[in-house]
Amino acid sequence: MQNIRTDLAVEAHELSKREAKNATEIEGVISSVEEKNGISITRVEITNENGSRELGKAIGKYTTIDAPNLKYSLEIYEKVCKIIAEEIQEMADIKSDMTTLVVGLGNRDITPDALGTGVISRLMVTRHIKARMNEMVDDSISGVCAIAPGVLGTTGIETADIIQAVTERIKPQLIIAVDALAAADIERVSTTIQISDTGIQPGSGVGNNREGLNEKTIGVKVIAIGMPTVIDAATISKVKIPEELSPLMVTTKDIDLVIERASKTVANGINLALHKNMTLHDIDCCIG
C-alpha cells in the first residue's frame, strides 16, 4: 500500500481508492455515510482478506464520527457522547452483570499520546463496589474496571502482556481499548473519533510489528476507540527527515485542551454505554 501512515480505516480507504484511480470500490470493503443529529458518521467494513490487504487494516467494522467542533460546543459534545455509547452497544451486547475492562493505552507524559490515560481517569469504575455491595448498586450499572498499562519504553514489558495477564486474572467479558491515533490528513487531527471491533495493534500507526490484541489472541471481544492527535512528520514533510530526528511530531497548539475535552467525551461515551440508565448529568455528579 501507499507509504502514508494512518490509523484511520476511512483514510486508508480513501487513499486506496485514489491509488486505484478508476474510482471504483475496493473488493472486500463496504462503506456508507449516515447523518445523525447533524453529526456525520462513516462506516467502513472490511469483509475479506483482499479488503484487509488493500487497506492495511484487519477485517471488521470501523465507525468514524466527524466532530470538527467538539472542542467548542457543549451540544456537539453531548451528541458525540451518545453516538459513541450507541456504537459500543451495537458492537457488544452490554448486560449489567458483565465486567468490562477499559484499557487506556499510550504514554501519559507525551501530551498528544495521553488520550487513553485521560479517559481512564474519567471513568465511572464500579467493579470493586459491585463485588462488595452489589445489592446497593442500581441494576443498570455494569461492572467496570480500568488499567493504564504504560508503554514498552517505560515499563520494559509488552503492553499486550500486561493486558493479557490482567484479563486472565479478572476475566472480563469485554475489553474497550482507547488510544491516540495518527492521521494522514491534517483536518482529521482532533476532530475524528474511530470505533472498531477489530481490537488493537499496538504501535500499528508507526509501522511497528508487535502482536495485536483482539478476540482471537485474547479470547474476549476488544473494541478499540481512538482519535488522531498527530500527523506523522514524514507524511507532511517536503524534506527528508533524518532517522535520528524522526521523533518529531506534528500536532495542534491547543493539544492540551483537545486531550482534555476528547478524554471527557470518550470516557462519557463509555460511561453511558456501560451504565445504561444513567444520564450525562448523573455521571458528572458521580465523577465530579
DSSP string, 83-113: HHHHHHHHHS---TT-EEEEEE-S-TTSGGG
Which member of 27, 49, 93, 254 binds a copy of itself (CB under 8 A)?
Answer: 254
Q: Binders of a copy of itself among 175-194, rule CB under 8 A? A: 186-187, 189
**Separation between Cα atoms, residue 217 and residue 175, nearest integer Å:** 12
Considering the rule CB under 8 A, would residue 243 count as an interface residue with a copy of itself? no
Question: Beta 221-232 vs 174-183: how paired, if at all?
Answer: parallel
Q: Which is nearer to a copy of itself, 97 or 256 (CB)?
A: 256
Which member of 51, 60, 118, 149 binds a copy of itself (CB under 8 A)?
Answer: 149
Considering the rule CB under 8 A, would residue 137 count as an interface residue with a copy of itself? no
Considering the rule CB under 8 A, would residue 257 count as an interface residue with a copy of itself? yes
Considering the rule CB under 8 A, would residue 218 count as an interface residue with a copy of itself? no
Q: Which is nearer to a copy of itself, 21 or 253 (CB)?
A: 253
Q: Which is nearer to a copy of itself, 207 or 288 (CB)?
A: 288
**Separation between Cα atoms, residue 94 and residue 98, nearest integer Å:** 7
Helix pair angle (280-287, 255-274), 10° resolution: 110
Stretch that binds a copy of itself, among 21-29, 79-87, 241-249, 267-275 (CB under 8 A): 241-249
Q: Binders of a copy of itself among 198-217, rule CB under 8 A? A: none
Residue 247 grid coordinates: 521523533
Q: How far is the CB of 83 from a copy of itself (least distance, A)?
A: 19
Are the C-beta atoms of residues 143 and 102 closer than 8 Å to each other?
no
Where b means 16+ CB within 10 Å and e means fewer, 227-264 reads bbbbbbeebeeeeeeeeeeeeebbbbeebeebbbbbbb
Region at 120 (left for phi over 0; alpha for psi -120 to 50; beta for the rest) = alpha
134 DSSP 8-state letter: G
Q: What is the contact mask toward a copy of itself in residues 92 to 131, using x (rule: CB under 8 A)?
A: -----------------xxx--------xx---xxxxx--
**Separation between Cα atoms, residue 35 and residue 88, nearest integer Å:** 18
Considering the rule CB under 8 A, would residue 33 count as an interface residue with a copy of itself? no
Residues that bind a copy of itself (CB under 8 A): 71-75, 109-111, 120-121, 125-129, 143-150, 152-158, 161-162, 164-166, 168-170, 186-187, 189, 233, 236-239, 241-242, 245, 247-257, 261, 281, 284-286, 288
